[in-house]
Amino acid sequence: MTAPLRTGEPIVVTVPLGARSYDIIIGRDLLGSLGARIATLRPNAKAAIVSDETVAARYMTSAEAALAAAGIAASHIVVPVGEGSKSYPIFLQVCEAVVASRIERGDLVIALGGGVIGDLAGFAAATVRRGLDYVQVPTTLLAQVDSSVGGKTAINSSHGKNLIGAFHQPVLVVADTALLDTLPPREFRAGYAEVAKYGLIGDAAFFAWLEANWRQVFAGGSAREHAIAVSCRAKAATVARDERETGERALLNLGHTFGHALEAAAGFSDRLLHGEAVALGMVLAFAFSARRGLLSVAESERLTRHLADVGLPTGIADMPGPMPAPDRLMELIAQDKKVRRGTFTFILARGIGQSFVAPDVDPADVRAFLEDTLAAP
């Protein structure tokens, strides 16, 4: 998956799902082509754009102009920034606004924003009028390489993250890498955790490439587009083989079982961004794997070193605010969607690029690991 870098024409990655296949278009300055691409897919369709306050202030005018140039009538719905918008009240607000805009079954919802907006708008599209088509226009690195691809849509519950949702594939993903130029450094780093994840799951060569080239990925240009394309190809292939996460697709949750628990413990707040939680979760998953004798401590430390070099948190103590208690983390892990009959399923590793699904992990082992980790200086 470390093909030569490309420049110039957009990179097209197809998610092969038969009649529901769709393309991910990756490149710079693609927002202006949004209307033409949608008009080709859905002639005469109207659109409702869902965005957050920050993204709307920057890009809504350009998005609406691109749609208008292609003769697409559009309305927009703007919600507050942050994970708090993945909630019942905001979900209801979006659904009612889509209905009020007279969007019909042949029309579209457009998710213009990061992972929160993609999940929220996608879930609204899955439910309004029993299912509308939608287009993802991801504006963060995390969304471009992960949450915009694969059809997972959801809102959060008081019991945990992404517990209420649906599988609902988009009809198009337009990943304009120029939109990442205005992304705050912390947000870009958080998204990079999901890029590194693809190397850790099954592509050791890509992880080594990232170790050597991550600065160029951060700087932009062809290295950034290459990293996004490799990530999207990896996810597209996995989704095609296991769309509804009955087996192999669970590998994409590397770091997420620990990470979601930490994110919930932080109150789904700016204390810990999702990608930061994933980074911590991957460090914990590799450390737990090493503790179980599955890989060497050196391999675990290699991951920790790379994420630290990038500027991501690598220890629970790096979280601002009070440390979560082991009991609270265990309670949150028990709500993970991969729990089966009281036993935990984790994504563990035998080395860089050698992750696997580990069912029937004893909760007592997890508790002991967390207690020791939290007690360490």
pLDDT given at position 33: 98
Condensed to tens digits (0 to 9), the pLDDT of residues 180-230 reads 999 999 999 999 999 999 999 999 999 999 999 999 999 988 999 999 999
> The whole model's pTM is what?
0.92
Catalytic residue among 86, 233, 274, 306: 274
Question: What token pair was written down for 220?
Answer: 């932009």
Of 249, 302, 306, 337, the catalytic one is 249
Confidence band of 336 (pLDDT split at 50, 70, 90)? confident
Q: Report helix angle 185-202 to 222-241, nearest 10.
A: 50
Residue among 28, 235, 302, 306 flagged as catalytic: 235
Is 249 considered catalytic here? yes
Out of 161, 233, 253, 302, the active site residue is 253
Boundaries of every domain in the chain:
11-181, 185-375
Instruction: Specify the pLDDT at position 196.
Output: 98
* Residue 338: predicted pLDDT: 61
The one catalytic residue among 224, 256, 302, 306: 256
More confident residue, 120 or 337: 120
The C-alpha atoms of residue 165 and residue 254 are separated, in whole angstroms, by 20
| 275 close to 84: Cβ distance less than 8 angstroms | no
**Residue 235 a catalytic site member:** yes
Give the residue from 317, 95, 345 showing the smallest Cα distance to 245: 345
When pLDDT is cut at 50, 70 and 90, the band that residue 247 belongs to is confident
pLDDT(328) > 80: yes
For the domain with range 185-375, which CATH number is right: 1.20.1090.10, 1.10.10.10, 1.10.287.610, 1.10.3720.10? Answer: 1.20.1090.10
Q: Tell me, what's the pLDDT at 245?
A: 84
Mean local confidence (pLDDT), 84-91: 96
Does 312 have pLDDT greater than 60? Answer: yes
Residue 52: partners with Cβ closer than 8 Å, 6 or more residues away: 78, 79, 80, 81, 82, 85, 113, 114, 116, 117
Active site residue 245: yes
Q: What is the pLDDT of residues 284-305, one digit of tens each?
A: 999 999 999 999 999 999 999 9
- Res 7: pLDDT: 56
Question: Choosing from 64, 83, 187, 194, which is the catalytic residue?
Answer: 194
Catalytic residue among 42, 152, 161, 337: 152
User: What's residue 284's pLDDT?
Assistant: 98
Query: pLDDT for 126-179, tens place per residue?
Result: 999 999 999 999 999 999 999 999 999 999 998 888 899 999 999 999 999 999
CA distance 283 to 269: 21
Mean pLDDT, the chain, rounded, equals 94
Residues whose CB is less than 8 angstroms from the CB of residue 20 and which lie 6 or more positions away in sequence, other chains included: 169
3-state secondary structure of 50: strand
Sequence-distant (6+) residues with CB within 8 A of 342 are 363
Look up 371 and say whether it is catalytic.
Answer: no
Give me the pLDDT at residue 191, please. 97
Question: Known catalytic residue: 86?
Answer: no
Q: Clarify whether 306 is annotated catalytic.
A: no
3-state secondary structure of 155: strand
Q: Pick the closest to residue 114 from 151, 82, 78 (CA basis).
A: 82
Please state whether beta strands 172-176 and 133-138 pair in parallel, antiparallel, or not at all (unpaired).
parallel
What number is the average pLDDT over the span 44-60?
Answer: 97
130 as an active site residue: the answer is yes
CATH assignment of 11-181? 3.40.50.1970
Given a cut of 80, whether residue 377 has pLDDT beyond it is no
pLDDT tens-digit readout, 56-79: 999 999 999 999 999 999 999 999
125 class by beta-carbon count within 10 Å (0-12 exposed, 13-18 middle, 19+ buried): buried
Which of 42, 224, 260, 302 does the annotation list as catalytic? 260
160, two tokens: 């945990």
Confirm whether 253 is a catalytic residue. yes
Cβ partners under 8 Å of residue 139, min gap 6: 55, 59, 112, 113, 114, 176, 179, 180, 183
Three-state SS at 25: strand
